Amino acid sequence: MASSENHHHKLHFVLFPLMQQGHMIPMIDIARLFAEHGIIVTIVATPANSLRFKNVVDRSIESGLPIRLLILPFPSAEKTGLPEGCENIDALPSPEWAIKFLNATTSLQEPFDQAFVDLEPLPCCIITNKFNIPRISFYGTSCFYQLCSHNILQSKILESSTLSLSDLFDVPGLPDRIQVTKAMLPRTLYSSSEDLEDFCDQIRKAELTAYGVVVNSFQELETIYEEEYQKAKFGKVWCIGPVSLCNKGILDKAEREMIELALGLEASKCPFVWVIRGGERHPELKSWLLEEKFEERNKED
């Protein structure tokens, strides 16, 4: 009986990252951070996305951390209209496919709901409020960025018919004067696409009903903006970063650094020759390069 009660009182968090490399990497770090404090963590992913962090998770599990994977099947190419194997925003042929991809992710709701009822012990923190337990949003960006986005949306300044893409305007309600143009902002804050606007509205509504926000930042980095963002979110903001510091193992550091280097080389849009010394010692990097078709997509025509 005592064993059963202990089982039911264990903390269990469910993490469901947005299927994009920049979101999944810190979310895996957060999973390990929580697990190091004895919290059971279930990471939700699709088959292709789970392969991206399988090595890191496997090493964490082998070290004794209570991390689990919940794999949900991604809808077929016939159903989504997406190219075969596109289960991540980074794998899309072009940004124009993003709306179709985001709409496809909504079909994961039903299999997730079905799988949730079998999770043990009962999760106490999750990304949905369907099961009457707290849902917490995660942001990989800073409190400064989130406060700017929050104030811009609240002020409705972007709805002005006289504001062009190149007009400078002051971000309202900040401790400092910050000027930006509409063109400098992410399309999630404004969009001429009705589909994207509808999807962003769903995200904003979900954020309004979230219990709180976890941010990959720390108070000493942006004290004033952390305090102001706390006020905007009624004191329910927790800065737990930088979560990358949980990568203490040599293999974990090497894999992360090499992948980040690869993405940086690609983002530079410059020709490059990349020689990896002792590549045979990094099978996880080789797998990532093959799965991402990194060499193929960076070949010169």
pLDDT at position 282, please? 65
For 196-213, b/e burial (b = at least 16 CB within 10 A) is beebbeeeeeeeeebeeb
Per-residue pLDDT tens over the stretch 242-285: 888 877 766 666 677 788 788 888 888 888 888 877 666 666 77
Contact residues for 137 (Cβ-Cβ < 8 A; gap 6+): 127, 206, 207, 210, 212, 213, 214
Per-residue pLDDT tens over the stretch 107-156: 888 899 889 888 888 888 764 444 456 688 888 889 999 999 999 988 98
For 118-153, b/e burial (b = at least 16 CB within 10 A) is ebeeebebbbbeeeeeebbbbbbebbbbbbbbbbbb
